[in-house]
A and B are shown apart, each in its own frame.
Chain A
Amino acid sequence: MSVPSQTERVRPEAIKAVPVRRPGRWLAIAVIAILVAMFLHLIFTNDQFRWSFIFSSYEPGKRGVMFTEPVLEGLRGTLLLTVTSMVIGVVLGVLIAIMRLSDNWILRTVAFGYTWFFRAVPRLVLCVLFGNLNILWTRIGFGLPFDQQIGKLFGINDLNAQFYSIKATDLLAGFVAGMLALGLSEAAYMAEIVRAGIQSIDPGQAEAATALGLSRGQVLRRVVLPQAMRVIVPPTGNEVIAMVKDTSLVAFVPVTYELFFQLNAIKARTFVVLPVLIAAVIWYLLICTVLMVAQYFVERHFGRGYGTAGRARQRLRAIQAEQGSSAVEGGAT
């Protein structure tokens, strides 16, 4: 029996088979198409939506409810509150995560206690609580701790060793109270996310960096955290988006400088319910869309050195370089 050699064999025709019929799929697509059509029909024909109320003018001489001044003010408040409370959450969260991974059991226990408390208490309760926390003090300030008690020890009544203080009701109310309630609560969740990220990194990485003579801080900043970011960023994106929505809870502090509160106020004043709620939905959708795009770019940044896309690009460049150099050589000879 002789086997024909490679060159003799003719490549057979490409397979042209009848694809398997999938009626279930077609049925599903038909059902979805009908539902989408019904939804579009609802949006465009039902005048209860009152799109002009939302977009163009909700009262004579005023802009649509989405773009009216108090609502835009509220939107600024919501964004500012999201950013500030997330900054508090991330910075404090990283700190607590590092404490949680410390060799020292006191630091570990404190970090554990913090996450235990702030994960257990609902954000709504925290917001109300922080709004009323100024009952505890008359003034809040920086200075010698226990100055009154120390003063009494030395026979001085009413020793005041505060460098700077402010009336508690001025400091711990409204925006600041809401920011602290959300930020401190967020720190507990961020601490767990950061801890998971740090623990996902091979200990050999820290060891290699240590062996090179990097300090503990450098090992963390230069080697461990940048790699942990790959694990930390996606759940943090979740947290930011959740925070945008949770800012509506500060209405209970109370803070009025907030998107949903402002829209609600218009609802209460005009007795127009649904269009106002739709306006809120559209704003939250817009904010979260922007955040998701931002997350995509952040993830891409921290994905350096991983994944197939970067690898393929690198290989392509290598091939181009090789061909380029050989072309130059070919030209020279």
Chain B
Amino acid sequence: MTEEMVRADNVHKSFGSLEVLKGIDLVVRSGEVCCVLGPSGSGKSTFLRCVNHLEKINAGKIFVDGDLIGYHERGGKLHEMKDSDVAKQRRAIGMVFQRFNLFPHMTTLQNVMEAPCRVKRENKSEVRDRAAALLERVGLGSKIDAYPGMLSGGEQQRVAIARALAMRPKLMLFDEPTSALDPELVGEVLDVMKDLARDGMTMLVVTHEIGFAREVGDNVVFMDGGVVVEQGAPAEIIGNPKHERTKAFLSKVL
């Protein structure tokens, strides 16, 4: 039953002459929460952005739900995908950003409705009901007509999660979702994420919240310098790290 939702095979990524990812292997099984830890500049955010092809990888392969991301493989040769095909793959992958990136010219409800209405061309009134229900679920049922600029950071991030969920993704990517928040607002966002995890959503979370990783993560990956240093159960990696680098990092953040 534990099929692979994400599979990364020896993924390399360079920006110019700077190699950011130096051979990442990683598997996230369906229904699992995988937390990626590591110091800044370790390549964890870049890796996350490669999973939905916001960044093109230079070598290796990434599969999501069995589909190769960004390329067609025909006769042993890779063909770059058309933009529309990449967009089709991205529909099934929700992403939440560190800086929320809500559309400021739309109300929260319009933010959530935008993709289902424009991309999937679903029935508008149906989408409206679903969007309102999603906003209700993240605790913002009373703010559906507010513009993002009127909301606190925590509220904005919860809208961003609802916006991603509106496309009914099979995988959710979180790129440091609480790093831009005031400490007192972090909890409300983590609560929504925990709720999602309980519902069985497959999640790949780049985070600095060690507590969240320990409590919710099924699997913890520690990255540094563009490689996976170690991975395993949270209790093992956080409670009893093997590598010096992991120990040094955890001693600073705990």
- Asked if A216 and B103 sit within 8 Å, CB to CB, the answer is no
B179 CB to nearest chain A CB (Å): 14
State whether A213 touches B147 (Cβ < 8 A): no
Residues of B within 8 A of A208 (CB): 95, 97, 101-103, 160
A205–B101 contact, CB under 8 A?
Answer: yes
Q: Is B81 an interface residue (CB 8 A)?
A: no
Closest to A224 in B: B103
Q: Are A211 and B95 in contact (CB under 8 A)?
A: yes
Contacts of A207 in B (CB 8 A): 54, 97, 101
Binary CB contact string for chain B from 138 to 155 against chain A (1 if under 8 A, 0 otherwise): 000010011111100000
B105 at the interface (CB under 8 A from A): yes
B122 to chain A, nearest CB (A): 13
> What's the Cα separation between A302 and B102 when bound, in Å?
16
Give residues 74-103 of B contacting A (CB, 8 Å): 83-84, 87-88, 90-91, 93-95, 97, 99, 101-103
Per-residue contact bits, chain A 295-312, to B (CB 8 Å; 1 contact, 0 not): 000000010111000110
Q: Find residues 201-245 in chain A having any chain B CB closer than 8 Å to their own CB.
A: 202, 204-205, 207-216, 218, 222-223, 226-227
A211-B52 contact in complex given A204-B99, A305-B147, A311-B149, C-beta closer than 8 Å = yes
* A-B interface pairs (CB < 8 A), number: 85
Residues of B within 8 A of A304 (CB): 105, 147
Q: Does A48 contact B (CB under 8 A)?
A: no
Chain A positions within 8 Å of B106 at CB level:
305
- Against B, the Cβ 8 Å flags (1 = close, 0 = not) of A49-85 are 0000000000000000000000000000000000000
Q: Give the CA-CA distance A310 to B104 in the complex, in Å.
A: 13
Chain A residues with CB below 8 A from B142, complex form: 318
Known: A208-B101, A218-B119. 7 other contacts (CB 8 A): A208-B97, A208-B102, A208-B103, A214-B114, A215-B119, A304-B147, A306-B149
B164 within 8 A of A: yes
A contact residues around B167 at 8 Å (CB): 212-213
Indicate which residue in A204, A214, A218, A314 contacts B150 across the interface (CB closer than 8 Å).
A314
Q: In the complex, what residues of A have CB within 8 A of residue B87's CB?
A: 210, 213-215
Q: Which residue of A lies closest to B93 (CB)?
A: A211
In contact, A209 and B150 (Cβ under 8 angstroms):
no
Cβ A212 vs Cβ B90 within 8 A: yes
- B163: chain A residues at CB < 8 Å are 212
**In B195-223, which residues have CB < 8 Å from any A CB?**
none
Query: Given A205-B101, A216-B83, A222-B114, are A211 and B90 also a contact pair (CB < 8 Å)?
Result: yes
CB distance from A320 to the nearest CB of B (A): 13
The contact size tier of chain A is: 20 to 34
Q: Chain A at the B interface: mostly helix, strand, loop or mixed?
A: helix
* Interchain CB contact under 8 A, B104 and A227: yes
Residue A315 CB within 8 A of the other chain? yes
Q: How far is the CA of A310 from the CA of B147 in the complex (A)?
A: 9
Is B115 part of the contact surface with A, judged by Cβ < 8 Å?
Answer: yes
Return chain A residues, CB-CB under 8 Å to B101: 202, 204-205, 207-208
Closest 8 CB pairs of A and B: A208-B101, A305-B147, A213-B91, A212-B115, A211-B95, A204-B101, A213-B90, A213-B119
- Contact between A227 and B54, CB atoms less than 8 A apart: no
Q: How far is the CB of B89 from chain A (nearest CB, A)?
A: 8
Instruction: Report chain A residues within 8 Å CB of B164.
Output: 212
B101 CB to closest chain A CB, in angstroms? 4
How many Å lie between the Cα of A209 and that of B54 in the bound state? 11
Partner of B90, one of A210, A227, A314: A210
CB-defined interface of B91-134 with A at 8 Å, one 1/0 digit per residue? 10111010101111111000000110011000000000000000
Complex Cα spacing A311 to B148, Å? 10
Contacts of A216 in B (CB 8 A): 83
CB contact under 8 A between A314 and B97, given known A205-B103, A213-B167: no
CB–CB B97/A215 < 8 A: no
* Assembly CA distance A210 to B145 (angstroms): 24
**Bound-state Cα–Cα, A212 to B150, Å:** 23
